[in-house]
Amino acid sequence: MKMNIVSWTKGAVTAVVLTALAAPANAAPANAAPPAATMLTIRADHAGAVINKYVYGQFSEHLGTGIYGGIYVGENSPIPNTRGFRNDVIAALKDLSVPLVRWPGGCFADEYHWRDGIGPKNKRTTRINTNWGGVPDPNTFGTHEFFDFVEMIGADAYVNANMGTGTAAEAAQWLEYMTGDQDTSLVKERKANGRDKPFKVSVYALGNETWGCGGNMRGEYYADQYNQWATFAKTAQKPAPLMLASGDRDGAATDFTEVLMKNRRAKMDAISMHYYTVLGSNWINKDDATGFNEEGWIRILANTVKMDGYIKKHDEIMTAAEKAVAADGPKNKVALYVDEWGTWYKPEPGSNPGFLVQQNTIRDAIVAAANFNIFHKYADRVQTTSIAQTVNVLQAMILTDGPKMLKTPTYHVFRMYKPFQDATSLPVEIKTGSYSYGSWTVPQVSASAAKTKTGMIVVGLANLDPHNTASILATLTGPVAGQVKGEILTAEAMDAHNTFDNPNLVHPVAFDGAKLEGGKLTLSLPAKSVVVLTIAP
């Protein structure tokens, strides 16, 4: 039995990182024997970086029914709503303590003109959503509605400005409209539209996927554009919004990160990276969201855990560039925002293919937990992520159908992992067996740990193996004692999912299988499960 030794806090231990090893083509089709016990060392007496709560961020784009129908139905809808926002969806998102929402896109942002979405609703401009389904967007959800939405759910705002068809002036004026506090014409206009006090913009991004739908730019050209636009994005807001540059398409590509790190002149707090989990290495052959076979199960997970190496690579490039900073260049540390991630499957049969509607199974729940465990490992660099997307699009938290709503397995993982928000990460060393199928191999167990502000230790675990229980033996260093409580999310079938007829098939239940004695934590982690444990002192 080969053991994977994985350091889940970078630099904390000198261990070999073996994730998603490609097994030889003649490998056994499946695990011949159950994997050996997983050994964890959780350094409860070593504080790592704080896990920024923004790591649990969301992305809500004007795409399909992601906003219209999914979040916003209008005041006159028979669906119960508050000022047009669905009460059921708002309540579900409040329960998640969503820290940050990215809006209005995505590719949609690359053509979005903010003036289309302010003022009386019956006078707003209708435009074709050229990226997503070619349908008209009435712009009845605009700047004021976005802030109403985030304020209702208690989240901060991440606004993405249009560098595709917009101008530096348009982006600067939008920022003034939102955040201005003196009686300029733009601020008077905002007040006339019903908002006296400034909106708070926490993150302001200049461009989206500028290597593709955002303008097919070269990194060098975009870096110049970014510096110019950021110079004029002036605001009275204190603290000023975090300024975000649009970065690479995935970890395999690093050219934007390299160029931006070398050429930053204006305020640049972060660079984004997008990485979606698809079936293979190309975007043509997508998997089904349900009804997939074991090959689909493992290939999706094998591609998910690649996130680790991708972030590592970007982190190394950024660290090297920060060390080599020019004497007159900006000296701030630049964060990495993974502001689009999640699974991307074939659209649901019968749906508009441009709407990116997909079901969500226990496989997606494991994808979410494995990604969180990776993000926690890089907590000092990865300050924000936003899963694509909140409602009805890609790996959604929530699906709606007219008045019906359901919470997906991914929703439940976000809820279970809530204690990690703003907790201090703890170094974790894992020695875990492998799960193999066909020519693919992944580590059986993914894990991370943190200490909350109230002194609780929280441990997140995922068993990627759909057949075998994982026996976990964890040693917690330092004086750790207390009561262990837990929750588990698991299911019988690999593609178990919630439907509008059976919305609670996959839901978390209490997990009382963990024992803590003399600093040793033991448990059996069922096949295809996510478990979150809390140890209260």
Could you give the residue numbers annotated as active site?
A: 209, 340
Q: Are the C-beta atoms of 528 and 480 separated by less than 8 Å?
A: no
Among 12, 302, 388, 488, which residue sits at the site for ligand AHR (rule: CB under 6 A)?
Answer: 388
Of the ranges 12-20, 101-109, 408-416, 432-440, which one interacts with ligand AHR (CB under 6 A)? 101-109
The DSSP code sequence of 33-99 is SPPPPEEEEE-TTS---B--GGGGEEE--SSTTSSBTTTB--TT-SS-EETTEEHHHHHHHHHTT--
**Tokens read off for 475:** 């040693």
* Beta carbon nearer to ligand AHR, 390 or 421: 390
242 vs 308: CA distance, rounded Å: 25
**Tokens read off for 379:** 């907590």
Among 35, 57, 70, 106, which residue sits at the site for ligand AHR (rule: CB under 6 A)?
Answer: 106
Task: Specify the residue for token string 């003022």.
Answer: 119
Smallest separation, CB 156 to ligand AHR (Å): 20
Of the ranges 371-379, 387-395, 431-439, 493-501, which one interacts with ligand AHR (CB under 6 A)? 387-395
Smallest separation, CB 195 to ligand AHR (Å): 27
Size of interface with ligand AHR, in residues (CB under 6 A): 10
CA–CA–CA angle 40, 45, 46 (5° rounding): 85
Smallest separation, CB 106 to ligand AHR (Å): 3
Chain residue at closest Cβ approach to ligand AHR: 106
Q: Which helix or strand (DSSP H or E) is residue 400 part of?
A: strand 398-401
Smallest separation, CB 408 to ligand AHR (Å): 16
Smallest separation, CB 349 to ligand AHR (Å): 20
The DSSP code sequence of 290-315 is SS--HHHHHHHHHHHTHHHHHHHHHH
309 vs 319: CA distance, rounded Å: 15
HEC assignment per residue over 51-67: CCHHHHEEECCCCCCCC
What is the maximum alpha-carbon separation in the chain?
72
Among 104, 105, 207, 241, which residue sits at the site for ligand AHR (rule: CB under 6 A)?
Answer: 105
Amino acid at 432: T
Question: Reduced to 3 states, what is the DSSP secondary structure of residue 177?
Answer: helix
Closest listed residue to residue 162, CA positions, set 99, 217, 100, 204: 204
* Beta carbon nearer to ligand AHR, 20 or 63: 63
Is the link from the previous residue into 329 a cis peptide, with omega within 30 of 0?
no
* Beta carbon nearer to ligand AHR, 270 or 442: 270
Smallest separation, CB 107 to ligand AHR (Å): 4
Among 156, 170, 176, 209, which residue sits at the site for ligand AHR (rule: CB under 6 A)?
Answer: 209
Of the ranges 46-54, 143-151, 162-170, 388-396, which one interacts with ligand AHR (CB under 6 A)? 388-396
Amino acid at 87: N
By CB under 6 A, is residue 339 in contact with ligand AHR? no
Q: Which helix or strand (DSSP H or E) is residue 376 part of?
A: helix 362-377
End-to-end CA distance of the chain: 37
By CB under 6 A, is residue 111 in contact with ligand AHR? no
Contact string 389-428 vs ligand AHR (x = CB under 6 A): x----x----------------------------------
Contact string 60-99 vs ligand AHR (x = CB under 6 A): -x--------------------------------------
* Beta carbon nearer to ligand AHR, 172 or 393: 393
Cβ-proximal residues to 8 (8 Å cutoff; 6+ apart), any chain: 373, 376, 377, 427, 428, 429, 430, 447, 448, 449
Smallest separation, CB 209 to ligand AHR (Å): 5
Task: Specify the residue for token string 């066909």.
Answer: 438
By CB under 6 A, is residue 107 in contact with ligand AHR? yes
Smallest separation, CB 343 to ligand AHR (Å): 11
Of the ranges 102-110, 183-191, 281-289, 346-354, which one interacts with ligand AHR (CB under 6 A)? 102-110
Task: Specify the residue for token string 């389904």.
Answer: 133
429 vs 419: CA distance, rounded Å: 21
Smallest separation, CB 31 to ligand AHR (Å): 34
Of the ranges 78-86, 91-99, 103-111, 168-176, which one interacts with ligand AHR (CB under 6 A)? 103-111
**Tokens read off for 490:** 């698991």
By CB under 6 A, is residue 248 in contact with ligand AHR? no
* Beta carbon nearer to ligand AHR, 226 or 420: 226
Among 340, 364, 465, 495, which residue sits at the site for ligand AHR (rule: CB under 6 A)?
Answer: 340
* Beta carbon nearer to ligand AHR, 399 or 457: 399
**Tokens read off for 39:** 């050994």
530 vs 365: CA distance, rounded Å: 7
By CB under 6 A, is residue 208 in contact with ligand AHR? yes
- Residue 401 CA: distances (Å) to CA of 89, 167, 343: 12, 38, 21
15 vs 430: CA distance, rounded Å: 9
* Beta carbon nearer to ligand AHR, 107 or 261: 107
* Beta carbon nearer to ligand AHR, 307 or 430: 307
Q: Are the C-beta atoms of 54 and 340 separated by less than 8 Å?
A: no
Residues that bind ligand AHR (CB under 6 A): 61, 105-107, 208-209, 340, 388-389, 394
